[in-house]
């Protein structure tokens, strides 16, 4: 899952060597609140899940947990 | 039987307010607002009422249609920010224009113009009306908390109008709502009713709403908007058996440049098919689509035979799409 998220983020940033770790924050990755929505929509498409924008997601780990939670609830 | 648009008009407030002017009393900057929204300036009512602007836009549309108010059988106004809760803005405009016909408002938030077209189409298709004046006018500035840098920067005031008559320009019209209050709302006032209690805890009011200002969950609305645009476009294209590149222009509600850009990119469509004027006006809710349409017509950007897809989306959550062949 981390690989796929990294791939999406590298595509956004047009940076093939962008370092993404589970504890990376989206602030560090220079994603603003609307970029994050873009990422969520791409992740939804990639993993076939629906993610509500109600809970704040600030790190890659939180995004991964949200995806896993959505997969379990599907 | 459907309709065609035979005249348009628009009227914006005189006062333009730049991002830099907002930054004099809000903790914001031109760079921040521009990068987040694409908005550089907005027009805001000062010494004119939104009724004045709506009436002027209507008069221009009537003149362009070579009709007078006496020829109009129905006046529908799309608004959620009229000068009066009662009477309707439609009646206020009708009074200024000196007419007499059925007149009422439609509130579908930012989708209001497309909803009003649907109402007009119903009257024309059932032969209850030959000529309909559709006005869309919003004074968003009266709904905003001008100390909130996240919402007050987004909106502007403006008015536009179209004269519709029986014809075959309309190829498709679909309006819908998937009701959700919390992402985007402005509470009504309870006045000085001494009996009302626990309004904040009323089940349909989000718990955190304590005032009458417009409140928006930006990420939620952004996601709704981008996905809705894609769905609306796909639905319309399927219904009409058209490919996206056969649509001359997608005239979208002007809420945020990034919403339009995101939807456009996801649909892999060229930039020139998505005209925008949000940079100058901000989000004018129901008025944004007809103001843009009127500007494009003034610039001779629309030719006979062009296919236009108008898409509104907003509070409700509502959305609506109309496809017109010019």
* pLDDT tens per residue across span A38-66: 889 999 988 889 888 877 889 999 999 88
Contact (CB<8Å) A34/B36: yes
Task: Report the residue from A37, A52, A54 with minimal CB separation from B222.
Answer: A37
Question: In this structure, which topology does domain A2-73 adopt according to CATH?
Answer: 1.10.1200
Per-domain boundaries in chain A: 2-73
- Give residue A56's pLDDT: 81
- Give residue B198's pLDDT: 61
Q: Identify the contact set of chain A against chain B, taking CB-CB distances under 8 A.
A: 32-34, 36-38, 40-41, 52-54
- Give residue B202's pLDDT: 53
What is the mean pLDDT of each successive set of 10 residues along chain B, which is 326 residues long? 93 98 96 95 98 98 98 98 97 98 98 98 97 98 94 97 97 96 87 75 56 89 94 96 96 96 90 96 98 98 98 97 98
Domains and CATH numbers, chain B: 2-168 (3.40.47.10), 172-180+213-325 (3.40.47.10)
ipTM score for this prediction = 0.87
Q: Cis ω on the peptide bond leading into residue B41 (within 30° of 0)?
A: no
């Amino acid at each position: 899952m981390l690989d796929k998220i990294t791939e999406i983020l590298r595509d956004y940033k047009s940076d093939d060597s962008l370092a993404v770790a589970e504890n990376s924050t989206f602030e560090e990755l220079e994603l603003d609140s609307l970029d994050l929505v873009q990422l969520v929509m791409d992740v939804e498409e990639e993993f076939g899940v629906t993610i509500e924008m109600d809970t704040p997601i600030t790190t890659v780990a939180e995004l991964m947990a949200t995806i896993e939670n959505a997969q379990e609830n599907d | 039987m459907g309709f065609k648009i035979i005249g348009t008009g628009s009227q914006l407030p005189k006062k333009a307010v730049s991002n830099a002017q907002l930054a004099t009393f809000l903790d914001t900057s031109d760079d921040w607002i521009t990068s987040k929204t694409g908005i550089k300036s907005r027009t805001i009512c000062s010494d004119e009422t939104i009724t004045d602007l709506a009436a002027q836009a209507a008069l221009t549309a009537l003149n362009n249609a070579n009709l007078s108010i006496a020829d109009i059988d129905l006046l529908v106004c799309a608004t959620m920010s009229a000068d009066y809760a009662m009477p309707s803005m439609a009646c206020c405009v009708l009074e200024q224009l000196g007419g007499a016909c059925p007149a009422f408002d439609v509130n579908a938030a930012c989708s209001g113009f497309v909803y009003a077209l649907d109402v007009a189409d119903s009257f024309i298709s059932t032969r209850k009306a030959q000529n309909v004046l559709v006005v869309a006018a919003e004074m968003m500035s009266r709904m905003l908390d001008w100390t909130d840098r996240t919402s007050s920067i987004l909106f502007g005031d403006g008015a536009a109008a179209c004269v519709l008559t029986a014809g075959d320009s309309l190829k498709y019209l679909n309006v819908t709502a998937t009701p959700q209050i919390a992402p985007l709302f402005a509470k009504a006032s309870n006045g000085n009713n001494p009996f009302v209690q626990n309004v904040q805890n009323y089940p349909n009011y989000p718990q955190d709403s304590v005032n009458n200002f417009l409140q928006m969950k930006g990420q939620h609305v952004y996601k709704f908007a981008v996905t809705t645009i894609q769905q609306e476009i796909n639905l319309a294209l399927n219904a009409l058996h058209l490919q996206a590149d056969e649509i001359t222009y997608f005239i979208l509600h002007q809420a945020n440049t990034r919403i339009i850009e995101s939807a456009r990119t996801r649909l892999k469509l060229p930039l020139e098919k998505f005209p925008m004027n949000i940079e100058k006006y901000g989000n004018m809710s129901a008025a944004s689509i007809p103001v843009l349409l009127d500007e494009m017509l003034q610039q001779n950007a629309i030719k006979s035979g062009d296919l236009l897809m108008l898409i509104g989306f907003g509070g409700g959550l509502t959305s609506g799409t109309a496809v017109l062949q010019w």
